[in-house]
Amino acid sequence: MTDPRPTSSTTTPSTIPPQLVPGTPPAEEPVAPLMREAVPTAEDWQRYDDAIRTRNATYKAMLITLAVILAPFIGLLYDMKLAIGLLGLGLAFTTVVTWLGAGRANPALRARIRVSAALNGVLALAAFVVLAAMLAAN
């Protein structure tokens, strides 16, 4: 079995990193590219503003989605008709938003998005028909 430690023939000064050689001054610390300039440029601020705007839009979309999903269940605590009405309104809202958003989507996906919007519209119509039948029964 051989000794894995380096021998004197393999540790010549050319193979030793310069920072480990006695008497060599320490190397300059690497600096990240974004930290080289102390003052942010206008482009940096624009990217920051875009990131904030995107994050806020994402939070708003999440809150709207949560409200659309939870509204029928909260309405169910009060009355079944209210729950079905809120379900229909939520589906109708989702239909409109999806249909309008399909225009900004990739053309390859636009047809699929519009089909899902149409399906939401059919479900909203069904919820309103059920609501109308429940109101007519009373």
Domain ranges of the chain: 42-137
Greater confidence (5 vs 114) lies with 114
Q: pLDDT band at residue 57, thresholds of 50, 70 and 90?
A: confident
Per-residue pLDDT, averaged over 52-60, amounts to: 87
Q: Give the residue-averaged pLDDT of 46-66.
A: 87
Q: What is the DSSP letter of 33?
A: G
CA distances from 63 to 66, 71, 74, 130 (A): 5, 12, 15, 27
Average pLDDT, the chain: 81
Check whether 131 has a pLDDT greater than 90: yes
CA distance 11 to 78: 82
Q: Is the pLDDT of residue 37 over 70?
A: no
Please write the tens of the pLDDT for every residue from 73-127: 999 899 999 999 999 999 999 999 999 988 888 888 999 999 999 999 999 999 9
